[in-house]
Structure 1
Amino acid sequence: MEIVICPDATEAGRLGANAIVALLQRKPDAVLGLATGSSPMAIYDELVRRRQSGEVSFAQARAFTLDEYVGLASDHRETYHNVIRRDFVDRVDFAPAAVHGPDGLAADLPAVCHEYEEAIVTAGGVDLQILGIGTDGHIGFNEPSSSLASRTRIKTLATQTRIDNARFFGGDVDQVPTHCITQGLGTIMDARHVVLVASGHGKAEAVHQLAEGPVSAMWPATILQHHPHVTVLLDEAAAGRVQLYSYYRETYAAKPQWQGL
């Protein structure tokens, strides 16, 4: 796991975008894993800028989203299908139908979960997965106590997650769905490269546990300690609790430029 401490979220977004641009330049038909939420926005904004400048194209790429609320109407502004299109997909040049997400309105949700897993495998797996992290250490919607080997499935959202997400629902926690479909921790671990981005003091404890705590289902993101290629991009505030702060700064400063992320 590589910990990169950036001066701000904008720089973290630039580095995350660098990794995606480099991937698409060597593999134009790469499969991306897309996360919603505020943390990845700096990456998406930078990728939009680079698409507009002609530096990168998503025309041959495909993508899978991490999760989806269960029960929100298809035209609801906060379905993750609509959020990821508004925040990123419709701002670049993905081909029609190149971006896939689970159907939170399906009559047979377990079947949807199984089919989503199969679709990722059929696509050749995810080359680069973008992640955020919740204040309780969740990635995707894998809440504390999630199986570290879990696959795409239905989950009940923790109260804290619903409180955190209420800001997207006019501050009314009762409007936040109780259930979701999420890629499992085992599914996420199958991605060949994971780029996790976090900003703000509210993520500092979760980041500390992610990087330096014991691997535990109580902090689901800690499973990433077992992944062979994880890049964690932090602003100064999110790095505020890490014990090896100086070491992470020294390691990145001494990193050979050819190595990239």
Structure 2
Amino acid sequence: MKLITVKNEQELSELTGELLIGWMLSKQTRFNLSITAGTTPEGVYRYLAPKIEKSRAFRHVHYYNFDEIPSTDPAFIGITMRDLNKLYFNPAKIDASQIHHLTSENYAEHDERLKQDGGLDAILLGIGQDSHYCGNLPGATQFEDQTVKVQATGALRTRISGHFDSPDLVPDHWVTMGPRSIMAARKLVLIALGSQKAEAIWHLVKGPVDSKYPASILKLHPDLTVIADEQAMKEVQ
């Protein structure tokens, strides 16, 4: 595990962006990348988008979302893809042929599709205050899971309800790449900002592997880079 402490969001965004650019350009053949939505990577995408848009050197990069909260409205694409379109795909003018959408309809074939495509070269991850990553929340998935459908009941349903304007719109499930699928990627980079992430970072870096803290499993990956600001890293300095 590589730990990189930065001073602020701008430094995190630029460093992570340059790291991803370097990885993308390390191959001339197809490069498969899975990226995260959420607030932490917003600066990363602002940094990346104009560089990717202006260069033909990244046409070999293919993108995969690693989770999706579907909509009960058939005209709505899904929470994750909606956010990725807004944050990155549209500003960077990524061609539709380079984007591969994980959905409720194709999740059972997702791991085989990735295998046929050559596997994921890298994943950009965030981490939640509760140590969740992707759709792997405490109590939602098991460490041995590949890509799965998670039933959104009780507290899990409440967790995703904030994405919707009405309780009637909240779906009864979401889909996510499970721990086994994430660990199969060649490289992982995880980013975090703020003191509210400090406990989750401690469990990732210092704590034992424990299903109560889903991201703790990531410490076993052979090529994990953690980039976080001083506040997020304060418990592991």
1:97 corresponds to: 97
2:43 corresponds to: 42
Report percent identity of matched pairs: 26
Q: In 2 relative to 1, CA 37–176 (structure 1 residues): closer, same or farther, beyond 3 Å? A: farther
Gaps of 5+ in 1: 107-111, 246-261
CA contact (8 A) 2:70 2:78 kept: no
> Aligned equivalents of 1:2 and 1:97: distance in 2?
33
Q: Give the total of aligned pairs.
A: 234
> Aligned equivalents of 2:191 and 2:14: distance in 1?
11
Give 1:66-81 correspondences, 5 Å limit.
66-76=66-76, 79-81=79-81
CA contact (8 A) 1:60 1:94 kept: no
> Aligned equivalents of 1:162 and 1:34: distance in 2?
24
Question: C-alpha offsets along residues 192-234 of structure 1, whole Å, 9 cap, x if unaligned?
Answer: 1101011122211111111111001111111111100001111
2:129 to 128, 135, 146: 135
CA contact (8 A) 2:53 2:93 kept: no
> Aligned equivalents of 1:9 and 1:241: distance in 2?
18
Post-superposition offset of 1:53: 5.7
TM-score if structure 1 supplies the norm length? 0.81
Post-superposition offset of 1:179: 1.9
CA contact (8 A) 1:58 1:94 kept: no
Question: C-alpha offsets along residues 133-171 of structure 1, whole Å, 9 cap, x if unaligned?
Answer: 1111111111214321210001135837844872x445x
1:223 corresponds to: 217
CA contact (8 A) 2:3 2:226 kept: yes
Question: C-alpha offsets along residues 103-155 of structure 1, whole Å, 9 cap, x if unaligned?
Answer: 23x3xxxxx22211111111101111000111111111112143212100011
Q: In 2 relative to 1, CA 16–165 (structure 1 residues): closer, same or farther, beyond 3 Å? A: farther
> Aligned equivalents of 1:123 and 1:70: distance in 2?
24
Gaps of 5+ in 2: none
Over the aligned positions, Cα root-mean-square deviation in angstroms equals 2.4
1:235 corresponds to: 229
> Aligned equivalents of 1:203 and 1:164: distance in 2?
19
1:58 corresponds to: 58
1:97 alignment partner, SS class: helix
2:14 corresponds to: 14
Question: C-alpha offsets along residues 68-120 of structure 1, whole Å, 9 cap, x if unaligned?
Answer: 1134435447621221111111222433221112223x3xxxxx222111111
> Aligned equivalents of 2:167 and 2:128: distance in 1?
16
> Aligned equivalents of 1:44 and 1:178: distance in 2?
30
